[in-house]
Structure formats: C-alpha cells, structure tokens
Structure 1
Amino acid sequence: MDLKGLPPTPQRLISLLDLIVACGYNAILVEWEDTFPWKCDLRYRGATFYNQDVIKRFVDRCGELEIELIPLVQSIGHLEMALRLDDNEHLREQVDCFDCLNPLAPGAHQLVEAMVDDVLELMPDVKRFHLGGDEAWLFGSHESTRLYAQQNGKDRLYLYHLDPILDKLIDRGIRPLLWHDMMIQWDDAALQQLSQKADLAVWGYHGHPDYTQDHLYHTRVIERFSNLNVPMWACGAYKGADGMSFDRATFESRRENTLAWLDLDARFDFAGFIATGWSRYSTNRVQTSPLDGNQDVIVLLGQLFSGQSNPTLQQVNQLLLQARELDGFQKCSDILNLMQRRRKIAWEQVQEIHEMLTFMQYDKNRNDPWLVEQSCKKLANAIEDVEELSDELYNVFSGRVALCWMQEYVHERIAPLKEQLAVFQSIGSKVPVY
C-alpha cells in the first residue's frame, strides 16, 4: 500500500484490513511516506498525515487479524520527501535533483536511520522491514560517490551506506527487504554478501519475465540471483502499473502478469509474493488510480498469490459481496471507468487538432480557421464531459479519500486538457485564409 498519493482516510485505512484478509493476504507492506507522524523532522508530515493514535490502531488491528505488518522507508532513491527541503540540498547526489541520496554526504546515514527509528517506535514488533532502495538512477554520480565507485564499485558504495542499517535491523530480529533493480549489475561476491542480510523483492509488472524486453526483471536476472542463493520475493501489481494517469487498472493485464510470477515460482521457489499498488510513480508525480476503484484486482492477486483458484470476474464480485465491499467498489470503478473513457476521447481530440494545425502550417493553402474553431468547440465539449464527473467522483469517494486529494486528482486530469485547448484557440485565431 503506497500512501504517498490518495491516502485513505483514517477510518478507511483501518477498515481496508478486513478486505485484505478476505482476499487471502497474510501481510501488508506499507510505504508511509508523508502520511506518517514523523518526529525526526515535522516537515515530512503531509496535509492529512495520520496521528500516532491512528497508527497504533492500525498496528493493533493488524495484530487482531493476524496480518504481518511490513513498513517501508526509502533509503537511497525516491527520497524526495526529505531531499526536496532546501537545508537537505547537501545530501543530494545532484544538487538539482531531489530523488537520490548521496550516501557519502555528512548526515546521509543519520537521515535514513532517524526515519527507521521513528517507524519502529510505533511498530516495534515487526518481523520484516523494507528499505526501498530502487530506481536510484543518479546513484554514484556526485563527485565524491563517483570516485568511490570507481575505486570500489557501486555495489560496495551501496553496501557501505546500508550495511549499518541492515545490521541494526538484524540485531533486533528484523529481516530487511530491498527492491532488486539496483543489484542487477553487482558482482557475485557483493550479491552473496547482501543475501546474508536482506531479501530482494523482484518487481516487474508487464507480461512474463521469460519474454519481457525489460532487462530489469528478465528471467536471466532471476536465475542469476537464484544461483547465488539470494532470497527473493516476486512482485506483481494491483494498480499503478498500467500507466501513470490511468484511472483504472487493466484487469486481464494484471492477471497475465500475476500468472507469470506463479509460473516462475515453480522454478525458483520465491520466499513470498507482493501485490504492489502504486499511488504515485514518485513523490513529485501525479496521483495514479485510487485503491477503492481497483478492489477487483486486489481480490484477483490475493486469490492467486495465496494459492487459490484463478477466479472469474463473477467469483471476484462474490468475494467482494461477502466482504460487504461490492456496492462501494462498483460505484468507485464505474465513475473511474467513465472518466477514463471521456478523458481518452478528449485526448484523441487534442491529437487531432494538433495534427491539423501542424498540417496547415506545412501547407498554408489548406488553412481553414472555421475547421479549427469547430474542432476546438468539440474539444471544449469533451472537456466539459470530463469535468461534469467531478462532483459524483467526490461523492463516491467521500469517507474513503480526503476531499483535498480527490480535488488534486481531478485537477491533474482536467487542467492539462484546458491548457491544450487555450493554446489551440490562440493559434487558431491567428490562422489566415489564403
């Protein structure tokens, strides 16, 4: 559960645990981000952060339902929450980029350790702790880290930074987890060293690793980890994987990918499975589809990963009915499906107008101001069709997600269309007739 976008209300956060159990899951991985009541730096707290009482009730409910709680705190990449602050500028790999920590900068280790300590204070009995560690594409690009990597290797730089934190967790009886993508180029010795201290969560959300064009999760990567006895978890996705601005997950694509991971499990015997649900691709990107509009895919992955039969849509809906979630889910998914269809129509009109104007610039004998005007009117109507869904969307998600986040969600989807329309109208008003 990625909480850095469209976080559930406190009541919904806790009630979702009953659905998680009903779907067949036995653990919940939570990336708290700015929803956590941070003490190490109050500026990390977002507009609707959960207070300590909410966190404690969530922890207690996990215990009552016998769901293992696994917290996630970023440790290298995706640290925008902390690194975007001006007085943390010295901790960045690149001064103008907020996402990657310079592990050699004074205070870098303490930054991560303080966040880990804050989380453990409110959930001291966890058995596993995820330290993120993925997509740190600028890792080793600072002058100091580049020199260290040249002399010792990026894998040793990574371990230099994380080893003390891994050891601290292990000393408390906690097994660390890390995303796998930054370890693909590591040498065998570094991977074997890491395998003694952490499990790798291998993620890939499209198709089958045997056939994927994405080298990050191709089966040969998994096979190499396996040959080196690296403990692995397989990770699919129930939302946020089909596109940054998709309003609904693609059910059959999620099924295909999940079945692929189960196929690989017969070969590699994964330690476990994780159904990820991304709410933003990173802190400073737009929000993806709301969780409550994708409960059908949550059920699908829960049933498959827990060893149940491959469910039909009818069986998925039956489970949601038994969990007393079906009516709410259908209202959420219906409005999101409608929004996605109407947005698609509007963006297709944007493309049509853009191509038309480009063509008219190429061949001025075909300039047609009236045609541009009519096409812009058609786009304006399409935008109105999207915008008129706003109030219903707010109503359907009331009590599930705070209004401020739903308003942001709508703005992210409508404002770009309006901006395109304004540009086209401005250009169209200047189109001469030859």
Structure 2
Amino acid sequence: MKEKFFSHNKPVVAIRGIHLDLKGLPPTPERLFEVLDLAYESRINCLLVEWEDTYPWKIYPELKNQTAYSTGTIRKFLDKARNLNIEIIPLVQSFGHMENVLSKKRFKNLREVPDNVSDLCPLKKESHDTILKMIKDILTTHKNIRYFHLGGDEVWSFGSCEKCKKFVEKYGTNTLYLYHLEPIFRFLKSLGIRPIIWDDMIRKWKTPDIKKISKLTDLMCWSYGVDPLSSIGRDTLNRFEKTGCTIWLASAYKGADGAFADVPNTQLRVVNMKTWMEYAKKNKVKGVVATGWSRYNTFLSPCEGIEAGLDCFVLAGKIIWDGSISENPTIWAENFLKHCQKKGIHTDHFYECRKVSEQMQNMRDLIFSQARNFLQQAHLVGEPERVNPIRAKEARESLLKSLKGLRQCAKEWEKAHAGVIPKFWIKKYILSRVEPAKKIIKLVLTK
C-alpha cells in the first residue's frame, strides 16, 4: 500500500518556500540541483536563494568566492526549477549584512561607520548605485521573476554617521530608510518585479509610514523561537495587516539554534513552524518560507549545514502544506526521507551526517566545559597549596583525550559529507570546529 505523507489535497498557503543561504557550506553543483528534487518532493514550490559570494558576479568579480558557481550552473539550476514549477526568489542584501561588499577595498567608503563592514550609508549616491548594479547582475540570469528580496534587516548602525544624524534630526529615521530603498523598490516595480524585505526594521514605525511602505514592498515577518507571535508582537502583526501590508511569514528549518550549532533543534523547529502556520490559517498571508541560515554573518564560522538538517527541511514542506503535523515528526521525516531515496533523491546519508554532527557538537561542548572546570582548580586561582597532583594530571589528560575524540569526529564528518559539499568548504568547517578547541586547550594547559 502506498504511504500517504500529506494529509490535505490542497495546501494551506499558495507559496511554500525554503531559503538557501549559500554563504556557508554551499552544496556542490550536483547537490544543488538535487536540492530542487527534494524541495519538489516535499511540496515546496518556491526557493528564496541568497547566492551571496557563490554567485558568478560580473559587475564586481571580487564578491565571488573560490568555489563560486559558474553562470552555466546558475542557468541550469534556474531551468530545472522552472521545469519543476519551483519559483526562485533571489535575495541581495541592500542595507545591513553587507559584509561581503563593504569588506572589499572598492566599497570601503560606503560604510555607515568606518570600522563596521556590516551597514551601508544610505546618503551616499554610490550606495544606491552599487545595489542597483548588483540587482541588474542577478537579473542577467534570473529572467521573468515575480519577486526580489532585498534583505533590509538588522541595520544596527543605521543613522549613526554625522551626515545621517543630521538627516534623522530633520526628517526622522523612517524617512532615511525609505530614502535609500524607495528608488530601488521603484526600479524593480518598473520591471514588473515586487520587492520583499524583512520586517524587523519596520516594526516600530508609525501607521502613516507603514502605509507608505506597504505600497512599495511586501514584508516578510520573521521569528524563530517557541512563540514567534509574541516575539514580533501580535499588535505589530495586526498593524501590518490593517495598514494594507502584503505579509509573508518566515520560520526556520535550520540556522536558528545558535551561531555555532552543528545540528538544528528539530523539536523547536517544528514548534516554530506549527505556530506560524496556525497564524497563516487565520490571517491573509502571501506565502511562508522556512529559512536555512548558514552563517549568522559573513565573518562568523558556519553553523549547521543542509545535510544535518534534512529532516527539518522535509518537515517544513509537510507543515507548510498541511498547516500542522499530527504524526510523530521524527518518524514521519525518517519514513519520508526513505521514500525520497527510493525515488532516486540522495537522502540516506542524512543519518550519518546527523550522528557525526551531534557527536562533534557534544565533543566541543565537553571540551569547553572541561576547560572551564580545569581553570577553577584552587591551585590555579590563588591557592597554590591546594593541589592534588594526580587530579590535575587527570584533568590535563581528559582534555587531550577529548581533543583526540573531536579530531576523530571531524574525520567522520568529512567522510559523511563527501560529494555533497566541496572539499574546500569541508576543510573550512572542520577547522572552525577543531581550531577553537585546540586553542583553548593550549591556553588552559599553559596555566
């Protein structure tokens, strides 16, 4: 008997998306194409793709990394998505999270604050021109798209340079925000493309300003905790709705459980997605996207990759389609991934990827805990007479033993991910897990 994985014949929301944040642990081209198959099988019909440094930038070649996809790969990916009726929404940062751009010498003068590479100064004409050129570069490959995501979130130093301060004093922060983005919104509109931005910078705006921006762009409301509605504020969501905003919702299938996590918290991910879908059932929303962050910002080490979160990936498809899940999520995901493997979609490596990722996370946590305990020994903190040599020796040996265990976990992690992530990024990820542990042990053992 054929197993039925989805309860409803029709989805709760029309647009059901997964976010690909490719600036950390990007898939190989072959795996990138296969992600489309997995999305299709999971009844996902939209991918929000944040190419970042994996895009083959022509206008600013210094923005691409060592393993950036070729233009041919991008076009093949987009063609396959089109054949599967999966809508692609590109995401280009336009205000905050601009590290990949502002860290480059060419763009240094565009920073809001000289020593902060995150945020763009909105009052410099070159800022506007730079974003437009990047959008146009993306549009050379992304033809006939309906939506374009411009980020626009977490602009932490917004309005802090002297010129911006004066502007804000005269016109206000909301006007400054629109001063930068409104021309970009209108450019996209002239091409028949609807912009989308994250909602967090708009949450405290007054009603007249929200009404103004609602005519220019959609808002994607994001929150990844147990109670996302309280986190954003139900009154804020109500104001968005009453002022005519077109709303999207964003949960997370991975990348929301700590900047240096090696695995997603499946239970929390499911609760978050279910809570958002309860809201979607009762309110008018354009679509729902499960984000999959790979780095909390460009200059932090990666968090967990797609492969260790495949269960949450497919659960996102299930929950966004049906609006909830009555089955045991772990068992449902296990059975569904087996179903995908039978259909020729490579998923049977998930269990090994998850296992070794959990082991690596646990081993790292153990080392940091052991290091802290080691440093609390009385003879190291001002009471040299209070020392038991055998216990001090055992503590040192335990740290070194744990480091050896972590290195073994790293080897197994590399083996489990071989072929789905480029070797270059596998090595980088392992370094990001082993090196901090090595350094802290070295520091501790010199005490």
Distance 1:240 1:96 in 2: 27
Match of 2:184 in 1: 165
| Preserved contact between residue 91 and residue 106 of structure 1 (Cα < 8 Å) | no
Change (3 A) 1:354 1:270: farther
Moved more, 32-41 or 330-339: 330-339
Distance 2:295 2:28 in 1: 17
- Give the C-alpha shift of residue 280 in structure 1: 0.3
1:106 maps to 2:125:
yes
Match of 1:228 in 2: 243
| Preserved contact between residue 36 and residue 49 of structure 1 (Cα < 8 Å) | yes
Q: How many residues align?
A: 422
1:295 maps to 2:310:
yes
Change (3 A) 1:109 1:304: same
1:247 maps to 2:262:
yes
Q: Which amino acid aligns with 1:356?
A: Q
Match of 2:395 in 1: 375
Q: Which amino acid aligns with 1:333?
A: R
Change (3 A) 1:309 1:205: closer
Q: Which amino acid aligns with 2:30?
A: Q
- Give the C-alpha shift of residue 360 in structure 1: 4.1
Among 38, 43, 64, the alignment partner of 1:24 is 43
Q: Which amino acid aligns with 1:251?
A: T
Q: Which amino acid aligns with 1:297?
A: C
Structure 2 SS opposite 1:100 = strand
Moved more, 129-138 or 86-95: 86-95
| Preserved contact between residue 245 and residue 287 of structure 1 (Cα < 8 Å) | yes
- Give the C-alpha shift of residue 351 in structure 1: 2.0
- Give the C-alpha shift of residue 227 in structure 1: 2.1
Superposition pairs for residues 58-73 of structure 1, below 5 Å?
A: 58-73=77-92
Moved more, 299-308 or 102-111: 299-308
| Preserved contact between residue 219 and residue 245 of structure 2 (Cα < 8 Å) | yes
Q: Which amino acid aligns with 1:323?
A: C
Among 366, 376, 385, the alignment partner of 2:405 is 385
1:401 maps to 2:416:
no
Ranked by relative contact order (alpha carbons within 8 Å, sequence separation 6 or more), the top structure is 2
Q: Which amino acid aligns with 1:349?
A: Q
Distance 2:75 2:388 in 1: 65
- Give the C-alpha shift of residue 211 in structure 1: 4.3
Among 318, 328, 349, the alignment partner of 2:349 is 328
| Preserved contact between residue 277 and residue 324 of structure 2 (Cα < 8 Å) | no
1:319 maps to 2:336:
yes
Distance 1:236 1:369 in 2: 52
1:350 maps to 2:349:
no
Among 297, 300, 304, the alignment partner of 1:285 is 300
Identity level (%):
32
Distance 1:117 1:348 in 2: 49
Deviations 1:241-297 (A, max 9, x none): 001111110110101111111122244322211100000001111101010111100
Deviations 1:182-224 (A, max 9, x none): 1122222221111011111111100113444xxxx22222122
Distance 1:136 1:86 in 2: 21
- Give the C-alpha shift of residue 354 in structure 1: 2.6
Contiguous gaps of at least 5 residues in structure 2: 1-19
Distance 2:313 2:375 in 1: 38
1:415 maps to 2:439:
no
Distance 2:287 2:244 in 1: 15
Q: Which amino acid aligns with 1:172?
A: L
Distance 1:250 1:202 in 2: 21
Contiguous gaps of at least 5 residues in structure 1: 428-434
Q: Normalising by structure 1, what TM-score?
A: 0.94
Distance 1:67 1:281 in 2: 26
Q: Which amino acid aligns with 2:337?
A: L
1:86 maps to 2:105:
yes
Among 162, 170, 182, the alignment partner of 1:143 is 162
| Preserved contact between residue 360 and residue 366 of structure 1 (Cα < 8 Å) | no
Deviations 1:112-133 (A, max 9, x none): 0011000011012111000001
Moved more, 264-273 or 71-80: 264-273
Match of 2:8 in 1: none
Deviations 1:167-186 (A, max 9, x none): 11111111110001111222
Distance 2:317 2:377 in 1: 47
CA RMSD of aligned residues (A): 1.5
Among 1, 7, 14, the alignment partner of 2:33 is 14
